[in-house]
Amino acid sequence: MHAPMLILLLSSIAAADAAGIGVTYGRRATSLPPPADVARFLARGTVLDRVRLLNADPLALRAFAGMGLAVDVTVPNALVPRVADSVAFARQWVRDSVAPHAAAGTNVSRILVGRDVISQANRTLLLCLVPAMQNLHAALLATSLHRQIKVSAAHSLGVLAVSTPPSAARFREGYDAAVVKPLLAFLRATGAPFMVNAYPFYGLTSDAGLDFALFRVGAEGVTDAGTGLVYTNALDAQLDAVHSAMERLGFGDVDVVVAETGWPWAGEDWEVGAGADHAGDYNRNAIRHLGSGVGTPLMPNRTFEVSIFSLFDENLKPGPMSEHHFGLFHADMTPIYDAGILTAPESVGPVSSKVTPAAPAPVPDAGAADSGGRHWCVPTPAADAAVLQENIDFVCGGGMDCGPIRPGGRCYEPDTVQAHAAYAMNLYFRSNGQHAFDCDFGRTGVVTTVDPSFGSCNFT
């Protein structure tokens, strides 16, 4: 990288520093470096000042003690109902999972409740969100940590019923009064931000939208007919849609934080835009833009805190190839591509601009006589229950109909993670072409020719 370009990049990064640049530290992978090595690398080798954990793993929390980075921890979805039901359990969770690490020098800055709860089809979990946040805040008050640690939650754009144009955005019907307004009132009262996962990559349907998604100069602008404002990039439009929906409910003063954004450096051949060059462009430009002070058309003259997803590739996640390849770094902590966050960007070596797998082949027919040539996806016998719950969250949080495994549904009984995962994983498998990779789920799924349907629960 030439010196003038490096100076410009680092000055842009410095401007973003006021709002904060973070990274999501997911660990669903078979080979990752020890958390202590990761913490030292992030503190000494990058310009990042915060990290988001997708759980409250004590090993990771201990690793960040004394490193100076702000750390967000997450209450898993499976625990949210218990935290909501009992302030005593919330206090115990804070005493066990947060307070000791804060006392030992880990800069815990937020507790995030669940992951993408509002967008999921689980109404029971949904209605537990705000009570859980309230109980955790009370627990922080009891331990005098409430000034240091805020309570919030991260949401995908699935919380919106309408997102375009930004001025017309609104939250999903039925959720605005029951959940979103109490949530926003809680955030306003406690000074916590509304956190959104924004991914322009997922809005792409053809190469024609790449310039708009990647902040490229000369990209054709999009005019919001409701306001007359012109949008020159997709991320601004997504953030303003969230702001408009909040303002519609009377909470336009609540701060907005980009909890996750990113771009996959590899993907299936049908995934538009996946590639290392595009990933580098997007992440560098997003960091530069959000930290520039320009703001968005509806939220001008401000910076935004942003966290890039994700620190490493996660090969145990379900979904297509792109889901496994959002990483910024290899397991040896060498960069996959230049994202503009190293203290010495010149050290970045060349990488492939695109990894294109062979075209996926349908699952071969095993020819079982009782299956009629059909196939189903079920969990492997040794699959971990926590990973299966994440599979359920992934499928049911992606807009698929998981009503049959909700309370009262025809497949709710037996009420076990394994049974519910079998239904959800098979639903995903059958809805996405029934290819082998559609049943991989991080090596926790297996294709079978034996129909797993039982009673009134039909898997076909």
Give the Cα separation of 307 and 262 in Å (integer): 8
Structure tokens at 284: 């560098």
Q: What are phi and psi of 232, to 5 degrees?
A: -105, 0
Q: Is the peptide bond before 76 cis (omega within 30 degrees of 0)?
A: no
Specify the DSSP class assigned to residue 365.
P
Q: Give me Rg for the CA atoms of the chain.
A: 22
What is the three-class DSSP state of 234? helix
Give the Cα separation of 451 and 373 in Å (integer): 11
- All structural domains of the chain with their residue ranges: 21-329, 376-448
Active site residue 268: no
Q: In sequence order, which residues have a C-beta less than 8 Å from that of residue 153 and are 6 or more positions away?
A: 112, 113, 114, 117, 118, 129, 133, 183, 195
Q: What is the structure's pLDDT at 350?
A: 38
CA-based nearest residue to 337, from 394, 283, 386, 270: 283
CB contact burial 129-153 (16+ within 10 A = b; e otherwise)? bbbbbbbbbebbeeeebbeebbbbb
Give the Cα separation of 75 and 63 in Å (integer): 19
The kind and range of the H/E element at 39 are helix 35-45
Give the Cα separation of 436 and 411 in Å (integer): 25
Active site residue 346: no
pLDDT by 10s per residue, the chain, length 460:
443 333 334 433 433 444 689 999 999 888 899 999 999 999 999 999 999 999 999 999 999 999 999 999 999 988 999 999 999 999 999 999 999 999 999 999 999 999 888 877 678 889 999 999 999 999 999 999 999 999 999 999 989 999 999 999 999 887 778 899 999 999 999 999 999 999 999 988 888 899 999 999 888 899 999 999 999 999 999 999 999 999 999 999 999 999 999 999 999 888 999 999 999 999 999 999 999 999 999 999 999 999 999 999 998 887 788 999 999 999 999 999 999 999 854 443 333 333 333 333 333 333 333 445 688 888 887 777 888 888 888 888 766 888 899 888 888 888 888 889 989 999 988 888 787 778 888 778 888 877 777 667 887 6
The kind and range of the H/E element at 379 are strand 376-379
Q: Please pick, among 268, 271, 305, 317, the residue that the annotation labels catalytic.
A: 317
Q: What is the structure's pLDDT at 115?
A: 87
CA-based nearest residue to 244, from 152, 176, 165: 165
CA-based nearest residue to 444, from 397, 374, 370, 394: 394
Q: What are phi and psi of 324, to 5 degrees?
A: -90, -5
Which one-letter amino acid corresponds to residue 63? A
Q: Please pick, among 260, 271, 305, 390, the residue that the annotation labels catalytic.
A: 260
H-helix segments, 260-406? 276-290, 385-396
Q: What is the structure's pLDDT at 407?
A: 86
φ/ψ region of 376 (left if φ > 0, alpha if ψ in -120 to 50, else beta) reads beta
CA-based nearest residue to 117, from 85, 168, 78: 78
* 371, 450 contact by CB (below 8 A): yes
Active site residue 314: yes
CA-based nearest residue to 415, from 392, 439, 436, 382: 392
* Mutual angle of helices 123-142 and 87-97, in 10-degree steps: 60
Q: Please pick, among 268, 305, 323, 390, the residue that the annotation labels catalytic.
A: 323
* Cα torsion through 263, 268, 271, 272, rounded to 10: 80
* 236, 296 contact by CB (below 8 A): yes
Give the Cα separation of 225 and 280 in Å (integer): 32
CB contact burial 155-167 (16+ within 10 A = b; e otherwise)? bbbbbbeebebbb
Active site residue 323: yes
Q: Looking at the domain 21-329, which fold is it?
A: TIM Barrel (3.20.20)
Structure tokens at 125: 């979990």
